[in-house]
Amino acid sequence: MKYYFMTLMPYAAIDQAERLKYDSAWVTLPNSLYDPKEGARLYQEYIDDLVRADQLGFDGVCVNEHHQTAYGMMPSPIVIASILARETKNCKIAILGSAIPLRDHPLTLAEEHAMIDTISKGRLITGMVRGIGAEYHAFGTNPAKSHERFHEAHDLIIKAWTQPGPFHYESKHYDFKYVNIWPTPYQKPHPPIWIPSQGSQETIEFASHPDHKYTYLQTFSPAVQVKKFLDAYRQQAETYGYEADDSQLGWSVPVYVGETDEQAIKEARPHFDAFRTIFAKMPMPMLLPPGYTSVNSLMRLMGRGNVSHTPTLEEAIKDGIIICGSADTVREKLAEHHDNIRFGHFLANLQFGTMPAEMTKANMHRFAEQVMEPLRARKETKQKTKQDNLAPVA
Amino acid sequence: MSTSQVTVKEETHKGYALTTWELGAGPPLLFLHGAGGAANMFAGEQPAAFLIELAKSFRVIVPEHPGFGVKERPDWLDNIHDMAYFYLDYLKGLDLGGVHVVGQSLGGWIALEMAVRDTSDIASLTVAGAAGLRLKGIKKEDIFLWTRDDFVRHMFRNPEVAKAFAAHEPSPDQLKAMLRNNETLALLAWEPRMYDPNLDKWLHRIDVPTHVIWADDDVVMPRPYGEGITALVKGAKFSVVPKTGHLLHLDEPQAFSQAVQSFIMEQAA
């Protein structure tokens, strides 16, 4: 299993009382609540976190894209990934992902990702997403064209990376007379593609397709849902006639490691609560604009009843929406989830909500030293035992 | 035949099984519905009150737009122009001579797009709360961010009508139709938001009697849109229905239908 550090870069300096006067932290929250000086401080801290993750031995660092929101200060993950291409030395740099259908000219993404891949000498992981519903309000892009544009933009980017140019790309929504990007990616045929999702059959079919075999990443979901969707991927791969490797599956989840279980819960609570209630919450019409999700999927979703329940930290821990506790507890939980769910990539969100820099730093150290390294050692022992057991047969 | 007796038909046009409701007798009148769809107007024991009123003087034909209702959207439907050409073909196929075309909101937009292209089958044009025109600097509410409560609060100005709407619990089919309607509305009108950037250049081509009816308190398509359309269509008449919101035909069905009917009768006289 590979370990990644993930951050959303929330605007943690938000005035929570002011924020709560509005529906959500997205799209319509006045940006007069944003203070550029606080923003400058937070960017430094968050970039320090990402660079520290490389030094602590994480396999990768992850950034993502959200627009016009206090939820995350990365309207362009390209900017942050570009910095990391030079500031980090060994780790993978995962952009999870670029919201490709939002672009009227997705070739810019083929170019920018190729640049970062080259500058980092092949350390880029390219995530491709549609962007959540709120982005379609923020960007004005038509949500009813989102699926089509995603597939066409994906197709264009892959072709731009793999087919010799110049060539003419023609699809329903895009028509580019000259596709002939310089530079092309450092990795051949192209950087690994990851598809982050909160779970949809269409996405699983797309990611697991034999022509793709893209890594499917389940984000912010209860552990039972993670298992359900990762199993659905394995099942779909079987339907396609191959066995999915664990490296095709990943899970992204908030993690907090404290000195003791009690301390961990006490320390994580305000920041987890802020994550859920201040940053993540949004009204349904903002989350699911018409056409973003198929009518049939929406009917199923509405059938499930209360989808907007905000869990308490205890509920979230129980459901595996967050892993929180002492190092022993987190290590055991993670090992248990890994054995039960099986995934090749684990993305720990070690900063969430309003968590301040010192606390994030301590969390990262405890996770890296007392969770990640022991689990890596355990795996090596396990493999060694397995080999020792096999030896006498020969 | 009672004016509220309704005939439902399904006929294939351009590969799409178009549902139409018909009621009343007299000169033919095509009613083009707004984003709320057509089925709701026939879901109760009686058709919507404004239709019963219109049916006293007209043979009222109400199609459910392709892409609206429980059916799948046809592949050919990409934009408002497709919709306009579809209905122009449909009118030609009906071969009724001149049809009085009445459109509300999205339906009004479709009617305008039809009329700038071809009026040979159109006797008169009536648009109410019509979308389609671009006007800069007019504050409009964003219907795509509305919750159901917002919808009720913004759309109606008749408290009784608003109350009845809010109390209605949609059936699964109605819910599905509502989701489909919203999806197709987004396809047609999300971007650019509720307008065709080229429509204003060609509204002068409309050469049939035209009536622009507006609510006095429309927050979706505020009154300057109605005045703007009126100014661009030669000889168009502008009227306002008092105490109404964007869904003026539901808020004040008698006054709305009266306005539609009296204009058409004046033209005939």
Work out how many CB contacts closer than 8 A connect A with B.
54
Indicate the average pLDDT of chain B: 96
User: Do the Cβ atoms of B97 and B22 come closer than 8 Å?
Assistant: no
A72 inside 8 A of chain B by CB: no
Instruction: Please check the confidence at residue A384 and state whether its pLDDT lies above 50.
Output: yes
Please indicate whether, in this complex, the C-beta atoms of B190 and A144 are within 8 angstroms of each other. yes
The pLDDT of residue A124 is above 70:
yes
State whether residue A344 sits within 8 Å of chain B by CB: no
C-alpha to C-alpha distances, A289 to A131, A286, A376, B144, B152, nearest whole angstrom:
12, 6, 43, 7, 18
Is the CB of residue A29 less than 8 Å from the CB of residue A137?
no
Average pLDDT value for residue range A374-390: 71
- B71 touches A at CB < 8 Å: no
B-chain CB neighbours of A289 within 8 Å are 144, 186, 190
Residue B184 binned pLDDT confidence (cut-offs 50, 70, 90): very high
Q: Residues 6 or more apart from A293 whose CB is under 8 A from it?
A: A133, A200, A301
Question: Which residue is closest to A296 within chain B, CA to CA?
Answer: B176
B72 → chain A, closest CA residue: A295
Whether A51 contacts A87, CB under 8 Å: yes
Tell me the mean pLDDT in the region A318-335. Answer: 97
Q: Is A199 on the interface with B (CB under 8 A)?
A: no
Question: In this model, does residue A320 exceed pLDDT 50?
Answer: yes
What contacts B97, CB < 8 A, 6 or more positions away? B121, B123
Q: Please state at what angle helix A77-87 crosses helix A36-55, rounded to 10 degrees.
A: 40
Tell which of A68, A294, A295, A299 to mutate to test the B interface (max B CBs under 10 Å): A295
> Smallest CA–CA separation between A282 and chain B, in Å?
11
Q: Are A253 and A347 in contact (CB under 8 A)?
A: yes
Mean pLDDT of B211-224: 98
**Contact yes or no for B175 and A299 at CB 8 A:** yes
Q: Which among B80, B106, B190 is the top mutation candidate for probing chain A, defined by the most A β-carbons within 10 Å of its own β-carbon? A: B190
> Cα–Cα distances in Å, from A331 out to A62, A166, A338?
21, 51, 10
What pLDDT score does A310 carry? 78
Exposure of A294 by Cβ count < 10 A (0-12 exposed, 13-18 middle, 19+ buried)?
middle
Residue A394 above 60 pLDDT? no
Is A140 within 8 Å of B191 when comparing Cβ atoms?
yes
Q: How high is the pLDDT of residue A377?
A: 92
User: Is A97 an 8 Å CB contact of chain B?
Assistant: no
CA neighbor of A284 nearest in space, from B154, B179, B37: B179
Q: Domains (ranges, CATH) in chain A?
A: 2-393 (3.20.20.30)
The CATH number assigned to the domain with range B6-268 reads 3.40.50.1820
Among B115, B150, B156, B168, which Cα is nearest to B241's? B156
Q: What is the mean pLDDT of residues B57-75?
A: 97
- Mean pLDDT for A58-70 is 98
User: How confident is the model over A65-107, as pLDDT tens digits?
Assistant: 999 999 999 999 999 999 999 999 999 999 999 999 999 999 9
Which member of B172, B176, B191 has the closest CB to residue A142?
A: B191
In angstroms, the CA B8 to CA B3 distance is 14
Average pLDDT over residues A163-180: 98
Listed residue (A354, A212, A192, A330) closest to A263, CA to CA: A330
pLDDT tier at A392, thresholds 50, 70, 90: very low
Using one digit for the tens of pLDDT, what is the confidence trace for A24-35? 999 999 999 999
Rounded to a whole number of angstroms, the distance between the first and last alpha carbons of chain A is: 28
The answer, yes or no, to whether residue A40 has pLDDT greater than 60, is yes
- Residue A301 contacts B where some CB pair is shorter than 8 Å: no
State whether residue B186 sits within 8 Å of chain A by CB.
Answer: yes
Is A295 in contact with B179 (Cβ distance < 8 A)? Answer: yes
Q: Does B268 touch chain A (CB under 8 A)?
A: no
Of the pLDDT bands very low, low, confident and very high (cuts 50, 70, 90), residue A383 is: low
Tell me which chain B residues have a C-beta less than 8 angstroms from the C-beta of A145: 187
pLDDT at A305: 60
Residue A382 has what pLDDT? Answer: 67
Query: Domain residues of chain B, as ranges?
Result: 6-268
Query: Residue B231 — pLDDT band, cuts 50, 70, 90?
Result: very high
Please count the other Cβ atoms lying within 10 Å of the Cβ belonging to residue B45. 5
- Tell me the per-residue pLDDT of B8-27, one tens digit each, with 9 for 90 and over: 999 999 999 999 999 999 99
Determine whether the interchain pair B179/A298 forms a contact, defined as Cβ–Cβ distance below 8 Å. yes
Query: What mean pLDDT do residues B33-37 have?
Result: 97
Residues A7-20, mean pLDDT to the nearest whole number: 98
pLDDT (tens digit per residue) in B122-158:
999 999 999 999 999 999 999 999 999 999 999 999 9
pLDDT in tens, B100-119: 999 999 999 999 999 999 99
* Per-residue confidence (pLDDT) for residue A178, from 0 to 100: 98
pLDDT at A391: 46
CB of A349 less than 8 A from some CB of B: no
Cβ of A291 within 8 Å of Cβ of B186? The answer is yes
A291 and B187 within 8 Å at the Cβ level: the answer is yes
Q: How much is the mean pLDDT over chain A?
A: 95
What's the gap in Å between the CA of A198 and the closest CA on chain B?
Answer: 21
User: What would the mean pLDDT of A214-242 be, rounded to a whole number?
Assistant: 97
Nearest Cα of chain A lies from the Cα of B203 at a distance, in angstroms, of 26
What CA–CA distance (Å, rounded) separates A109 from A99? Answer: 9
Question: Where does the pLDDT of residue A309 fall: very low under 50, low under 70, confident under 90, or very high at 90 and above?
Answer: confident
Q: What pLDDT is attached to residue A301?
A: 82
Cα torsion B101, B107, B109, B113: sign: negative
Locus of tokens 């319509």: A28
